[in-house]
Chains A and B, each alone.
Chain A
Amino acid sequence: MNDKRHIQEEVEKTLNSLDGIQRAISNPYLFARIKARLEREEKSLWSKALTFISRPMVAVPAIVLTILINTAIFFEFKSEKIQTPQDEEQAFASEYNLSDYTIYESTIEPE
């Protein structure tokens, strides 16, 4: 019985042991540490981006995609009709009506 009462008293005293607690004081150089941490995080953002880009999972598809786009563009241009200098001359002449008729080309109306 006495033991039970004693335990009860101990429990109560322990439960109240935080009464009158004072605030714990943080590190006086906390601000400097936070600033250094912020700078570190800013740097690590770039390194994180570089690490992400250099990962084979990202780098290999990116390279393959670039090659594919280049190849597609190359074949696209190749398939287009390439204009020769003669074509350009003909186009110029027809635009300015410079084509000279030969006598054989002209048709003579019968009188």
Chain B
Amino acid sequence: MDEQFLIEKLRQGDEAAFREIVETWKNMVYNTAVGILQNAEDAEDVTQEVFVQVFESIKTFKAESKLSTWLYRITVSKALDHLRRKKRKKRFAYIQSLFGAGGETIIEKPDFNHPGIALDNKERSAILFKAIDRLPENQKIAFTLHKVEGLSYQEISDVMKTSVSSVESLMHRAKNNLKKLLQDHYQNKE
């Protein structure tokens, strides 16, 4: 079905159109979320949140950009919100543990294995994902969209509402930071 037609149908509350939208873009949304969050359950939760928002705010979608670009934007924003919430919770639990209050026990984040990585690259990619997790937000988003979702710099600039040169700069800084983090990792290992 045509994208514009689907949007129009969804605006009228058509369930079949909504199902079609979910089925067409669910893997794209989930893969983006899992790349940013590095956790399958959190990614599923965020994917659901994204489509709920699509359903609720389709009337405000002006169709100035492609539906996929809009979906990427919602996914990135929801994933970042989720990460911030989690960090806040973690910090609170840490402070509670300092004062001896019986808060949640802090569990160290396990290594993340992306399901779409070939077996012989699993170990290396887990190290890389750990390093990506330590990048500043914007660099992390640009790098993940490019490497995990395979978006071009132009597409990333549309999603992030910035210029292509800014995306190039973000990618350059991200790669440099990752190199430093990986060097430290391998130096400490030896």
Residues of chain A having any CB pair with chain B under 8 Å:
3, 7-8, 10-11, 13-15, 17-18, 20-27, 30-31, 33-34, 37-38, 41
Could you say which of B31, B149, B178 has the most chain A C-beta atoms within 10 Å of its C-beta? B31
Considering the chains assembled together, what is the distance between the CA atoms of A18 and B117 in angstroms?
7
Chain B residue numbers with a CB within 8 Å of A3 are: 190
Closest to B180 in A: A11
Considering the chains assembled together, what is the distance between the CA atoms of A17 and B129 in angstroms?
10
Counting CB contacts under 8 A, is B115 at the interface?
yes
Considering the chains assembled together, what is the distance between the CA atoms of A26 and B52 in angstroms?
16
Q: Would you call A24 and B30 a contact (CB within 8 A)?
A: yes
Task: Tell me the smallest distance from the CB of A23 to a CB of chain B, in Å.
Answer: 5
Could you say which of A33, A34, A38 has the most chain B C-beta atoms within 10 Å of its C-beta? A34
Closest to B120 in A: A17
Considering the chains assembled together, what is the distance between the CA atoms of A31 and B178 in angstroms?
37
Given contacts A21-B117, A23-B27, A26-B29, contact A38 B52 (CB under 8 A): yes
* Size class of the contact patch on chain B: 35 or more
9 shortest interchain CB distances as A-B pairs: A22-B116, A26-B30, A17-B124, A17-B125, A11-B182, A18-B147, A7-B186, A23-B31, A17-B121
- Identify 20 residue pairs between A and B in the complex whose beta-carbon atoms are under 8 Å apart, listed by A's number: A7-B186, A11-B182, A11-B183, A14-B125, A17-B128, A18-B128, A18-B148, A20-B118, A21-B148, A24-B30, A24-B115, A25-B30, A25-B115, A26-B26, A26-B27, A30-B30, A34-B48, A37-B48, A38-B52, A41-B52
B175 contact from A15, A26, A27, Cβ within 8 A = A15
Given contacts A23-B27, A23-B28, contact A7 B190 (CB under 8 A): yes
Considering the chains assembled together, what is the distance between the CA atoms of A82 and B184 in angstroms?
94
Q: Would you call B128 and A30 a contact (CB within 8 A)?
A: no
Closest to B127 in A: A14
Task: Tell me the smallest distance from the CB of A93 to a CB of chain B, in Å.
Answer: 67
Q: Would you call B128 and A14 a contact (CB within 8 A)?
A: yes
Chain A residue numbers with a CB within 8 Å of B148 are: 18, 21
Considering the chains assembled together, what is the distance between the CA atoms of A26 and B44 in angstroms?
7
